[in-house]
Amino acid sequence: MVNIHKFSGGVYQAPVVGQQNYHKEGPPFVFLMMRLNVKAALLILCGAVLLITLTLWSRCDLGSREWLRQGRENTDRGSEIQGAEEIDCDVNGEYSIGCRREGDEVYIPFSFLHKYFEVYGKLAVYDGLERFEWSHSYGRIYHPKGKYDPKGVFMYFENYNVEVRERVKCVSAIEGVPISTQWESQGYYYPTQVAQFGLSHYSKNLTEPEPRRKILEDGEKETSKWVVPDGASISRIYSEKANSHVLQFSTSDVYTDGVKLKLDHVLDFVMSVHILLNGNSSFSVILQNREKKDLYHLHYIASDILITAQDRNIYHGLGVSIGWRRLTRDLIVDLQKGLSYLEKDKSKHKLPRSKIKVVGIVLRGYGAIDNLTLSSSEHIKQFYDAANWFVKYQDEGTGGWPNPVRRRIAVGFQDLEPGWYSAMGQGHAISVLARAYHHSGGDSKYLDAALAGLKPFRVPSWQGGVLATFFNKFHWYEEYPTKPASFVLNGFIYSLLGLYDLMTIAPNKAKEAELLFDEGMNSLKNMLLLYDMGSGTSYDLRHVTLGIAPNLARWDYHATHVNQLLLLSTIDNEPLFGETAERWIAYMTGKRAAHN
């Protein structure tokens, strides 16, 4: 009847909070409810004292008068009976459901209320006592701890775990950034997602404890005992190119025997290595399931393939590039992505970190390595993988980062053709690049890319840019440059944050960003309340531009709206932001705007 997982056409990357990704799995308690079959749910829930008062019934205006009258008549008879009695409940004259009556009170199955009102509930035990917990929404509010600092954590992205999401096919070993399957199953680089990956690692670098790091090989001296089979050799030599001592290796058979390093390493699963590989050569890591003793082989090979797997062998391609490069891999992510590549049922193979250990490294073919480490994290390296991706893949002419997939937003909007730009993608990229400019101590390639990334903000969306104008008056940066305009709220605010980041980090060089930000903020202040639906918010303004029903924001998007306003209220003293955020927070516990 009511589709609780309605897709609202957004690209919102839901936060992973306590390892539960609300966007994908939905709130866990909803699932709890769904798993119970209707009868069981009815029994359990009627048992759990769940009082639906007549007050609520009539407040919700559900044609209650007739029902009320019947309820009273029944009460007279019911008072003679001990305990609950079955009673039919007629819903708006449309259908009926089985309810319970006990004296004056009527009990409605929660499974019905859940679907009817889209409210959530679960049974929980506290101090040995069972109780039923009702909640109106599942969004999460983050109250900013202080004024937003563009050099600091981005929003609350330290909670994000972009690469573990199911719609991430894998992290490319060529670029070190995620590949999305959200809108095309073979996978593509989705600028918004690449940026969120970068911003989450930048943010984690600032919030997480210092990493543990163990050096396994640095080419200088013998830190590790490599086992060299017949016909193979290793040597620690000075490399002019790398300006460093490196470990060179050569094996006769690239398919079986390799130069091997035995390890017994737990806990730290982020590997970093400088590597040079000839064709047909590979760098492999062997992992073991500590309980079942199964071995898994992660092979990084000189190839253009993205990811492939066979038996317990998982292959990531490093590209066929020539020359040294740095490889940073979260081995657990690579293992999980490989296993889900093998198994179409993704949930089957969730091997937790605690169950895995690294038992070996094998070098095959011909190549060299240096600076091989295992760490608890390498956030800044992963952040720079994202920042460098944006420098490398920006369109020189337009300054845009194209979305290489066709996208249908909704009936009524023209499809977006592959190559479209998103204000959210541009803004997020600028947030990454501004931080890279700051963190690198002023490397101009990051600033130049960020400044060029402003160009699509001045180009109308119907001409390939991201600019829409509301009623010929207010400039708006479109997450989806649709025809007609869609005015998606969260993507617009993310784009404003990108502009703010750049103008704050490079104040004298980014006047253009400041102009765009000021115009955008003016539009936001004037248009914000168009999104207020009195009990929630709308995701976009299709109800205005398409003349159809509003596209109501799911609770996680609604919470994003609130979180964005709370953040904006720390950098702009416009009271509208804070006041509106408070009202929108209240909607999340069922409060509504007053009626006449």
Ligand X SMILES: *[C@@H]1O[C@H](CO)[C@@H](O)[C@H](O)[C@H]1NC(C)=O
**Residue numbers of the site for ligand X (CB under 6 A)?**
205, 208, 210-211, 242-244, 246, 274, 279-280, 324, 370-371, 377, 379-380
The helix (run of H) or strand (run of E) holding residue 22 is: helix 22-25
The CB-of-192 to ligand X minimum distance in angstroms stands at 23
Residue nearest to ligand X (CB): 279
Least Å distance between CB 159 and ligand X? 15
Q: Is the Cβ of residue 326 or residue 483 nearer to ligand X in the bound state?
A: 326
For residues 469 and 459, give the distance between their C-alpha atoms in angstroms, rounded to a whole number.
11
Give the nearest distance from C-beta 208 to ligand X in angstroms.
4
Report the residue number, 134 or 366, with the smaller CB distance to ligand X: 366
Shortest approach of ligand X to residue 279 CB, angstroms?
2
Closest CB to ligand X among residues 288, 371? 371
CB of 218 to ligand X, least distance (A): 7
Separation CA 25–CA 48 (nearest Å): 26
Q: How many residues does the chain have?
A: 596
Nearest to 557 by CA among 498, 484, 479: 479
Nearer to ligand X, 75 or 371 (CB): 371
Distance CA 560, CA 563 (A): 5
Least Å distance, CB 323 to ligand X, is 10
* SS3 (DSSP) at 546: coil
Q: How far is the CB of 203 from ligand X (least distance, A)?
A: 10
Closer CB to ligand X, 28 or 279, in the complex: 279
Closer of 244 and 308 to ligand X (Cβ) = 244
Q: Which is nearer to ligand X, 246 or 298 (CB)?
A: 246
Q: Which long-range contacts (CB under 8 A, 24 or more apart) does 547-551 make?
A: 548/412, 551/8, 551/9, 551/410
The 10 Å CB-count burial string (b at 16+, else e) for 186-197 is: ebbbbbbbbbbb
- Distances 101 to 50, 89, 115, 454, 551 between C-alpha atoms, Å: 12, 10, 21, 64, 38
Q: How far is the CB of 242 from ligand X (least distance, A)?
A: 3
| Residue 324 structure tokens | 């040294």
Specify the residue, 279 or 418, whose C-beta has the smaller distance to ligand X: 279
CB of 335 to ligand X, least distance (A): 22
Write the Ramachandran bin of 89: left for phi over 0, alpha for psi from -120 to 50, otherwise beta: beta
Question: Of 446 and 457, which has the nearer Cβ to ligand X?
Answer: 446
> What is the nearest approach in angstroms of ligand X to the Cβ of residue 230?
19
Distance CA(456)–CA(470), nearest Å, equals 17
Strands (E), 295-429: 295-301, 307-310, 313-317, 325-330, 356-364, 366-375
Distances (CA, A) of 382 to 304, 305, 320, 432: 20, 21, 21, 12
The pair phi, psi for residue 213, each rounded to 5°, is -145, 130
- Distance CA(368)–CA(327), nearest Å, equals 13
- The DSSP annotation for 183-252 comes to S-TT-B--HHHHHHHHHHHHHHHHHSPPPPEEEEE-SSS--S-EE--TT-EEEEEEETTTTEEEEEEE-S
Q: Which is nearer to ligand X, 135 or 376 (CB)?
A: 376
β-strand partners of 374: 214, 271
